[in-house]
């Protein structure tokens, strides 16, 4: 399937920004949404296509009892050793890109779509994705808003949320990488819906 004319919006945002909410809105409006994080989880589940390479690269100690990725151990490693993060990305990103291509083909074939949204949580953190996208859309909000939302929906403390945020790209870095920015400070679903429609009209 030829997808050379496909317009690809890379969607990203920090934890609690409302990125997943916006992805859901695009989907409800008939725009195919491809979830790179869901693909990554599939690849690293028991029997996932990435697991043999991960076992060879990092050792079987990084496998859980069901032969899936031991996420806690891997998270600790990549936070403490930046080189390990790059090694893991080198294994996962080509496999994720391959599955994204498959899902793009399906979107074009089944729905005759020329626009897809690719939800990539770590888009800014990795240079791998930028050249594969037509535009980067960042969902942005104040950091205090991020903390408030995540605390409300989870059992995490504000300090724990801030720790997660420090491990992600900074707000400044995300804004610098953006072609488009959606400000989402207001918890206003109707506002987000209107902005999603406007983006489709102008792309």
pLDDT band at 143 (very low <50, low <70, confident <90, very high): very high
**Boundary residue ending a domain (61, 92, 112):** 112
Residue 2 predicted with pLDDT over 60: no
Domain boundary (79, 112, 145) is at: 112
Same domain, 150 and 166: yes
Residue 72 sits in the same domain as residue 120: no
- Count other Cβ atoms within 10 Å, centred on residue 113: 17
At residue 69, the pLDDT reads 97
- Counting the structural domains of the chain, the total is 2
pLDDT of 88 higher than 60: yes
Query: pLDDT tens digits for 4-39?
Result: 678 899 999 999 999 999 999 999 999 999 999 999
CATH number at residue 150: 3.40.50.300
User: What per-residue confidence (pLDDT) applies to 187?
Assistant: 86
Quote the radius of gyration of the chain (alpha carbons, Å).
Answer: 18
Tell me what the mean pLDDT of segment 87-102 comes to. 94
Answer for the pair 60, 53: CB distance below 8 angstroms, yes or no: no
What Å distances lie between residue 67 and 47, 58, 89, 92, CA to CA?
7, 13, 19, 17
Is 49 found in the same domain as 142?
no
Which of residues 112, 138, 162 is at a domain's end? Answer: 112
Q: Are 100 and 138 within one domain?
A: no
Residue 119 bridge partners (DSSP): 11, 35
CA atoms within 13 A on the CB side of 123: 30
Quick one: 130 and 197 in the same domain? yes
Based on the domain organization, do 68 and 90 belong to the same domain? yes
120 with 203, same domain: the answer is: yes
Mean of per-residue pLDDT scores for the chain: 91
Is 72 in the same domain as 85?
A: yes
- Taking only the tens place, the pLDDT of each residue in 189-202 is 998 999 898 888 77
Question: What pLDDT, on a 0 to 100 scale, did the predictor assign at position 3?
Answer: 60
Residues 105-115: tens digit of each pLDDT: 888 887 676 88
**Which two tokens mark 142?**
């104040």
Two structure tokens written together for 7: 């317009």
Give 82's pLDDT tier (boundaries 50, 70, 90).
confident
List the domain range (segments joined by +) for residue 51: 37-112
Q: Identify whether residues 160 and 140 lie together within a single domain.
A: yes
**In this predicted structure, what is the pLDDT of residue 28?**
94
- Residue 125 shares a structural domain with residue 170: yes
Query: Phi-psi bin for 126: left (phi > 0), alpha (psi -120 to 50), beta?
Result: beta
Q: What is the mean pLDDT of residues 84-98?
A: 93
Kindly tell me if the per-residue pLDDT of 126 is higher than 70. Answer: yes
- The answer to whether residues 128 and 114 touch, using CB atoms and an 8 Å cutoff, is no
Regarding whether 45 and 85 lie in a shared domain, the answer is yes
Q: pTM of the prediction?
A: 0.88
1: confidence class by pLDDT, cuts 50, 70, 90:
low
Q: Taking a C-beta distance cutoff of 8 angstroms, is the pair 33, 116 a contact?
A: yes
| Least trusted range by pLDDT, from 48-52, 94-98, 186-190 | 186-190
User: Do 118 and 27 belong together in one domain?
Assistant: yes
Segment 62-87 mean pLDDT: 92
């Amino acid at each position: 399937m030829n997808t050379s004319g496909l317009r690809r919006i890379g969607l990203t945002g920090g934890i609690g920004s409302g990125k997943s909410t916006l992805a859901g809105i695009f989907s409800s409006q008939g725009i195919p949404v491809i979830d790179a994080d869901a693909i990554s989880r599939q690849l690293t589940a028991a029997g996932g296509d990435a697991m043999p390479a991960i076992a060879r690269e990092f050792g079987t100690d990084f496998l859980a009892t069901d032969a899936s990725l031991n996420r806690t151990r891997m998270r600790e490693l990549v936070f403490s050793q930046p080189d390990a993060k790059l090694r893991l990305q080198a294994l996962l990103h080509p496999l994720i890109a391959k599955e994204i291509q498959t899902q793009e083909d399906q979107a074009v074939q089944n729905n005759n779509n020329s626009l897809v949204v690719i939800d990539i949580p770590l888009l800014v953190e990795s240079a791998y994705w930028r050249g594969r996208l037509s535009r980067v859309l960042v969902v942005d909000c104040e950091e205090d808003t991020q903390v408030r939302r995540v605390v409300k929906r989870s059992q995490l403390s504000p300090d724990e949320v801030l720790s997660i945020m420090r491990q992600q790209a900074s707000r400044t870095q995300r804004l610098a990488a953006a072609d488009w920015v959606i400000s989402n400070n207001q918890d206003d679903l109707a506002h987000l819906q209107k902005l999603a429609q406007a983006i489709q009209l102008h792309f």
